[in-house]
Amino acid sequence: MNTEMFIQHFFNALALGSLYGLIAIGYTMVYGILRLINFAHGDIFMLGAYFVFFSTISFMPAWVAVLLILLALLIYYSVFIGFKKRPEIYWIAILFILILGLIYYSKIAPQNFTPIWILAICFSIFITSALGIAVDQCAYKPLRNAPRISVLISAIGISFFIENLATVLFSGVPKGVKQPDFLVTPIQWHLGQGSDAIIRISPMSFIVPVVSFILVVLLLWIIHRTKLGLAMRAISHDIETARLMGVSVNKIIAFTFAIGSALGAIAGIMWALRYPQIQPYMGILPGLKAFIATVIGGIGSILGAMLGGLLLGFLEIMIIAFFPALSGYRDAFAFILLIVILLVMPTGLMGKKSQEKI
């Protein structure tokens, strides 16, 4: 393998690993607080891709977008504020700004493509995050005190429900995502002076790692430097003690689902731009690999989730690059790595040993 091919494979692996890592963080955040594997997280990832697709390619009717935003605001308000209190002025301001944005969206949609992508990305994150909260409120909150197997079955059930609902609403036919013009043209440069070798890298191979790094840093800052993060860590350590100390457990759990779903939506958007084809079952395999990345890195560790995702990304791309004949087995590499890591380090690369009373 020559140098330019290696560099291209390196950036491809970095982008793929970053996407796995972002999805894995959603798993590890929910597990860190509830000790729950949210198997519907891969489908939240899929919905993020679909919302941005219908907001750009098909130019979603403004009334549908307004309806979805009102539904999302209803979810946010009912969970974080409650209907017993009068709405604060900032909620009215948020609704007003969103309606103005949709009016602007409906006016520029046929003419200008770039502003549409900005609005569509914000719209997708906002709606998908609310749906993540709805999944918690409908499927997991009623089972807080139930046996873990009941919650696990509920997670699998909600995953199947979302996948089949998406098939009914969006059809099972794969849809191509039209990328913005600045993402179509590859970035290229000469390897060095006097060399004819040209390296061509997709812009998304740069954008994905940079966005992932920024999001991880921001998330770590929230967890370790804010009162909200302190409450999340308190619930993770001892949920009953946190409740006795005045922490609003249900609101913090809902906020955790909101953050994890937002990260899943961002990963879904970048996946759709990196591999421009979507379908209702697109979240199954990336979601499963992201879960494997979570276990490899140490479930409950944010940095471990990202590290596990990067390991999987580099393993897949580099083995295929050096051994093309093994390309048909690329999905098996993740499971092989999982077995090896668990045999050597049962708690994962960055996991902590803990004792649990049974």
What is the per-residue pLDDT across 249-262, written as a single tens digit (0 to 9) for each? 999 999 999 999 99
pLDDT for the residue numbered 327: 83
Architecture of domain 3-60+115-344: Orthogonal Bundle (1.10)
Q: In the numeric block, which tokens belong to residue 339? A: 């077995």
pLDDT band at 354 (very low <50, low <70, confident <90, very high): low
Distance of CA 59 to the CA centre of its chain: 23
| pTM for this predicted structure | 0.89
pLDDT for the residue numbered 101: 61
Neighbours of 139 (CB within 10 A): 18
Of 199 and 28, more confident: 28
Rounded to whole angstroms, the Cα distance separating 139 from 258 reads 15
Q: Which are the contacts of 345, defined by CB distance < 8 A and separation ≥ 6?
A: 351
pLDDT for the residue numbered 144: 85
Is residue 280 within 8 A of residue 170, CB to CB? The reply is yes
Q: What is the mean pLDDT of residues 322-345?
A: 88
pLDDT for the residue numbered 111: 44
Decide if pLDDT at 279 tops 90: yes
Q: What is the pLDDT of residues 27-67, one digit of tens each?
A: 999 998 888 889 999 999 999 999 988 877 655 666 677 77
Rounded to whole angstroms, the Cα distance separating 311 from 17 reads 7
Is residue 43 within 8 A of residue 283, CB to CB? The reply is yes
Rounded to whole angstroms, the Cα distance separating 8 from 14 reads 10
pLDDT for the residue numbered 122: 86
Lowest mean pLDDT across 177-186, 268-277, 334-343: 177-186
